[in-house]
């Protein structure tokens, strides 16, 4: 079973690309979705203990939590120490299930793949990218986002140029949905045809 890591900086179109793999029946593990589930479940009490007043009956209030941890390195590390092991456990369960179902290819959708050394547990890396101007336009169009928040998020992410240098496959989402879908198909076919060797990095 080939494990590909899918990553990309904020606003690059990673979630849309992940859905394209799902549409071709490739199992995808979404780290962000796991975090959302944890925030409404088993991580909530742990986060409340570390950051009092950041949860309610529905779980973690992401805005309140963000106000504490964004831009605060020590608080962010404390949060990551709570959340990352839980996300990793969910990932291991996903991989075990995929193997049991005889999947030949799976995708680990990990926004902070390089930042958390996730490259060490995948066979290859897909980086989703777009020009900086397109990225900024997409991100600032999001509700509750502003220039300062955008800069804070970028400061915690490996630069896009470095990600592209370390990638096995690159998908530029600024070229349109059809192009991205074609790139996804090419990647799947390349791996299944045996024309890509994870031990022969480009």
Contact 91, 31 (CB under 8 A): yes
Q: Is the pTM of this model over 0.75?
A: yes
pLDDT of residue 202: 46
Alpha carbon 10 to chain centroid distance? 9
**Cα separation of 151 and 46, whole Å?**
28
Domain ranges in the chain? 1-27+104-193, 31-102
pLDDT digits (tens), the chain, 202 positions: 999 999 999 999 999 999 999 999 999 999 989 999 999 999 999 999 999 999 998 999 988 998 899 888 899 999 999 999 999 999 999 999 999 999 999 999 998 899 888 899 999 999 999 999 999 999 999 988 888 889 888 888 899 999 999 999 999 999 999 999 999 999 999 999 988 877 665 4
Alpha carbon 52 to chain centroid distance? 27
Measured between alpha carbons, how far is residue 71 from residues 135, 151, 153, 168 in Å? 21, 10, 9, 31
Burial of residue 99 (CB within 10 Å: 0-12, 13-18, 19+) is exposed
**Cα separation of 114 and 125, whole Å?**
10
Placement of tokens 């949060």 in the chain = 79
Q: Give, in words, the CATH class of 1-27+104-193.
A: alpha beta
pLDDT of residue 200: 61
């Amino acid at each position: 079973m080939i494990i590909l890591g899918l990553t990309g900086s904020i606003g690059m179109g990673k979630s849309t690309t992940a859905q394209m793999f799902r549409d071709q029946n490739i199992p995808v593990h979404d780290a962000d979705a796991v975090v959302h589930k944890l925030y409404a479940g088993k991580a909530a009490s742990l986060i409340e203990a570390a950051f009092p007043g950041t949860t309610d009956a529905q779980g973690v209030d992401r805005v309140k939590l963000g106000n504490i941890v964004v831009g605060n390195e020590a608080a962010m590390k404390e949060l990551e120490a709570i959340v990352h092991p839980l996300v990793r456990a969910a990932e291991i369960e996903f991989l075990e299930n995929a193997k049991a179902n005889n999947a030949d290819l799976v995708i680990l959708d990990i926004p902070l793949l390089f930042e958390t050394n996730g490259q060490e547990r995948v066979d290859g890396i897909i980086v989703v990218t777009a020009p900086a101007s397109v990225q900024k336009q997409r991100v600032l169009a999001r509700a509750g986002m502003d220039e300062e928040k955008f800069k804070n998020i970028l400061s915690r992410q490996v630069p896009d140029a470095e990600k592209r240098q370390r990638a096995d496959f690159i998908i530029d989402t600024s070229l349109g949905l059809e192009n991205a879908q074609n790139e996804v198909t090419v990647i799947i076919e390349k791996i299944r045809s045996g024309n890509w060797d994870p031990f022969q990095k480009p």
